[in-house]
Chain A
């Protein structure tokens, strides 16, 4: 059986950054398994710009950003096996892989970084009534069809869901000659970044209709149109129905971390973020197995993915070299009112970074509110936040001493009203 110090599952931005960081920390025997034929993951089809402002201090396209990391992987001599699908990971880190060249093979890894990314929520999971004709695609599938395969899904388009890929595709479809009637969003706020609403909708005169959803799909074999209604408390308001003729319906209604391998390995999943439960080193409930990127929780910016993944890679290197568990008490971080989830789920008092990061999302729009961390009744940390919206991941750097002062589990919450 082939043996590796670190097996990275997935060669997208998270996997590449993790491998690069582990290598820089002195780990030598690394392998990246990638199911596609090239590195880069979903970035390869994200040909728009806006990537890399944090990481490289310049604005890159998705493929350019991916190429920067692929170059690092090459320059550092990290082996990559593309066209390779990971079928299973056992709790003792035997990884079963499949490829045309090698067939089905077990390898042993002293550490594993999970970087499988996420997938889009399909129409079926949305429970929209109506027919199931040709012409309904998730925004990412449409993005692949246009940007990689060079074919247009249709000419008259409606977009349901205001996730970032949906907003990006509203612009893309328009630039490629289609007409995008509107973007409809079930929630009273957008699921995507503000800059994408401005650059992809406003600049092209595409309306964003909040608190609206598709309630019926017409056309048995080919999509003919959708019925849209205004929504209150999650229910369509009778009398607000409007028919939009279209041949294409794109869905951008949420991303789901691809944790099938994680689950079958027996790793504990945090249902609040649909990703693994991790400590401050991004280690999962199985020692030596780390998680990062969109398989851990869905990110808005690839720059954040790279930063998080580097941490996972460094932790894997430390695990392989040290082997021992970090010292000290485990302090749990529990999301309370207004905070949807956190990464990490816990800290180990003895091994805290100088400025540990807490990443989280809020459950509604907060203006002039605060984030508070409490230990019992005692307030350990407070920061005023001008605006917090669900579509933007929050990233708090907290002084080590603050957390080390905890003598019991911590609670993190918002203070202020949803606006």
Chain B
């Protein structure tokens, strides 16, 4: 028996698990995939939204603004990549300047600080690569984060504080057994006092196992382009477009690690596993992004990917105790990543109040990530190599990732088991050659660690 079972090891599940380990609770995270961060959390824009988008009074608005304020400090304590690069919302048509003003007012109502309406001249000066605009909204608190690092940081810290992660485990059913839930999985069943449903696009499936009122989550696919770091400084800020009658618009942004990212499209689909890109989706992204920046060097694309947003029916996050001791974190679409730490606090509060809990004194607040060799000073690099020569051996040339980093990623708490797991922890394989050179070497390191033949090493 455990106290709380969190279903889903995405950014929400991992953040909730971490928050709950502040208290004397047995926390278990159940995940159907092999690793954390395998669903929506691995394929999104990585934006820390300022919070001017959501309607005032909604959970989205409150948790977004709160989360945006928490992430800079969390990035330090949990050691993940974050940059406060600011954002601009572009308006191309003078007739729509009212819409920009509305966005500004909404931001003020939501408590967003540092908003300012800019003139076309100010925009040109701030971002010379942009096309001509009628005006723009500047959001100074907006930032970018590495979504993998952030999710993994929450997970590792939760694990260090005692949370148990069960991977490759699919929840097949949930029954109520007195005051306990019995969670039936493909790897056996167990009992839990509380359940937190953080199952992303499958949150409806889990919810409907327990609750009378049925829920529907629609996967909304977003397709992206990721471009070479060589053109990562095409724009400094995250560039949004004011929604027009042509659609919601796409963003152009540097990533936390210095690539340029363009996307996403937005198509509602039926298949919750369909993360394929489509020629139509990619073409529409290209075309719409051209509104903001006409000279995006798409010839420098290093990969395309797509992710699924978990869209509910209420136009707001669904975070509540939907049945006795069963708490939904459903419909967590954008700005879910930004809101994650605030959502975690909100959900922990529900359980803490019901159980009358007090924080543990031995909670470990901080976590150190994989040391990124390339980001260190010369002195730090040489210190590292002196202590472990594996840091002097480059495995991934494009991102300058050393054998030492890959070994750390495999050996550490909730260590990587697959090539993608290594990639998300170290960036090995995430560069311009897209793992052409490092694949065999990384495979060998994984095979060595787990004592498996080379051809049993999986990509994902």
* Co-assembled chains A and B: yes
Query: What is A's interface to B at a CB cutoff of 8 Å?
Result: 35, 83, 85, 87, 98-104, 119-120, 122-125, 127, 129-134, 137-138, 140-141, 144-145, 148-152, 215-217, 220-221, 260, 263
By the criterion CB–CB under 8 Å, are A120 and B433 in contact?
A: yes
Q: What chain B residues lie within 8 Å of A260 (beta carbons)?
A: 398
Complex formed: what's the CA distance from A17 to B336 in Å?
A: 56
B454 touches A98 (CB 8 A): no
CB-based contact B393/A83 at 8 Å: yes
Whether A122 touches B436, Cβ cut-off 8 Å, given contacts A99-B392, A129-B282, is yes
For residue B279, which residues in chain A have a CB less than 8 angstroms away from its CB? 129, 215
How many whole Å from A2's CB to the nearest CB in chain B? 16
Contact check: which of A103, A119, A152 meets B433 at CB < 8 Å? A119
Q: Could you say which of B4-12, B171-179, B191-199, B296-304 contacts chain A?
A: B296-304
> Could you write out 22 A-B pairs with CB less than 8 Å apart?
A35-B397, A98-B381, A98-B392, A99-B393, A101-B389, A102-B392, A103-B385, A104-B378, A119-B432, A119-B436, A122-B435, A123-B303, A124-B302, A125-B302, A129-B282, A130-B277, A132-B305, A134-B460, A140-B436, A149-B454, A151-B455, A215-B279
Complex: how many Å from CA A279 to CA B286? 38
Residues in chain B near residue A152, CB distance under 8 A: 455
Task: Scan B357-401; emit 1 where CB is below 8 A from any A CB, else 0.
Answer: 000000000000000000000100110011001111110011010
Bound-state Cα–Cα, A141 to B378, Å: 32
Inter-chain contacts of A123 with B (CB < 8 A):
303, 434
Cα separation A105 to B442 with both chains bound (whole Å): 25
Min distance, Cβ A216 to any Cβ of chain B, angstroms: 8
A165 CB to nearest B CB, Å: 11
Once the chains are docked, how many angstroms separate the CA of A217 from the CA of B275?
A: 11
Question: A99 CA to B393 CA in the complex, in Å?
Answer: 6
* Cα distance A260–B400 in the bound complex, in angstroms: 12
B385 touches A134 (CB 8 A): no
A98: chain B residues at CB < 8 Å are 381, 392, 394
By a CB distance below 8 angstroms, the chain B residues around A104 are 378, 381-382, 385
Shortest distance between the CB of B424 and any CB in chain A (Å) = 13
Determine if B269 is an interface residue (Cβ-Cβ < 8 Å): no
Whether the pair A263, B397 counts as a contact (CB closer than 8 A) is no
A119 to B279, CA, bound (A): 26
B190 at interface by CB-CB < 8 Å: no
A148: B residues at CB distance < 8 A: 440
Chain B CB within 10 Å, residue with most, of A102, A119, A132, A140 = A132
Q: Which B residues from 396 to 426 make CB contacts under 8 A with A?
A: 397-398, 400
Distance of B333 from chain A, by nearest CB (Å): 21
Residue of B nearest to A131 (CB): B276
**Selected contact of B434 from candidates A101, A124, A127, CB within 8 Å:** A124
B439 is an interface residue with CB less than 8 A from chain A: yes
**Contact partners of A83 in chain B: CB under 8 A:** 392-393
- Cβ-defined partner of B459 (8 Å) among A99, A130, A133, A150: A133
User: Cβ of B390 and Cβ of A100 under 8 Å apart?
Assistant: yes
Expressed in whole angstroms, the minimum distance between the Cβ of A158 and any Cβ of chain B is 17
Please give the distance in Å from B184's CB to the nearest CB on chain A: 24
Q: Nearest Cβ distance between residue A103 and chain B, in whole angstroms?
A: 4
- Given contacts A122-B436, A127-B301, whether A100 and B392 have CB atoms under 8 Å apart is yes
Q: Which 5 A-B pairs have the closest CB atoms?
A: A124-B303, A100-B392, A122-B434, A134-B459, A100-B389
Q: How far is the CA of A127 from the CA of B397 in the complex (A)?
A: 23
Residue B270 is within 8 A (CB to CB) of chain A in the complex: no
Contacts of B440 in A (CB 8 A): 141, 144-145, 148-149
Query: Does B449 count as interface, using CB distance less than 8 angstroms?
Result: no
Chain B residues contacting A134 (CB-CB under 8 Å) are: 458-460
Q: How far does the alpha carbon of A287 sit from the alpha carbon of B443 in the complex, in Å?
A: 41
- On whether the beta carbons of A220 and B275 are closer than 8 Å, the reply is yes
Q: What is the CA–CA distance of A311 and B282 in the complex, to the nearest angstrom? A: 45
A124-B303, A140-B436 in contact; A129/B382 too (CB < 8 A)?
no
Known: A100-B390, A104-B385, A151-B455. 16 other contacts (CB 8 A): A85-B400, A87-B400, A103-B392, A104-B381, A119-B433, A120-B433, A122-B434, A124-B303, A125-B302, A125-B434, A129-B277, A129-B281, A129-B304, A141-B435, A148-B440, A149-B443
- CA A263 to CA B276, docked complex, whole Å: 34
Which A residues lie within 8 Å of B390 (CB)?
Answer: 100
Question: In the complex the two chains form, is B392's CB within 8 Å of A101's CB?
Answer: yes
Contacts of B437 in A (CB 8 A): 119, 141
- Take A127-B304, A129-B279, A152-B455 as given contacts and tell me if A141 and B386 are in contact as well, using a CB distance cutoff of 8 Å: no
Contact partner, B397, options A85, A144, A220, Cβ 8 Å: A85
A127 in contact with B282 (CB, 8 Å): yes
Could you tell me the distance in whole angstroms from the C-beta of A47 to the nearest C-beta in chain B? 15
Which residues of chain B come closer than 8 Å to A124, judged between CB atoms? 226, 301-304, 434
Chain B nearest CB, measured from A358 CB (Å): 27
Chain A residues, CB < 8 A from B460: 133-134, 221
> Shortest distance in angstroms between A139's beta carbon and chain B's nearest beta carbon?
10
Q: Inside 8 A of A216's CB, which chain B residues have their CB?
A: 276
Please tell me which one of the listed residues A99, A101, A125, A150 contacts residue B301 in the complex, with CB atoms under 8 A apart: A125
> In the complex, A148→B276 CA distance in Å?
32
A363 to B279, CA, bound (A): 27
How far, in Å, is A146 (CB) from chain B's closest CB?
10
Interface pair A130/B276, CB less than 8 Å apart: yes
> Roughly how many angstroms separate A152 CA and B434 CA in the complex, as a whole number?
20
Residues of B within 8 Å of A85, CB to CB, are 394, 397, 400
Counting CB contacts under 8 A, is B444 at the interface? yes
In the bound complex, CA of A87 to CA of B399 (Å):
11
Q: In the complex, how many angstroms separate the beta carbon of A120 from the nearest chain B beta carbon?
A: 5
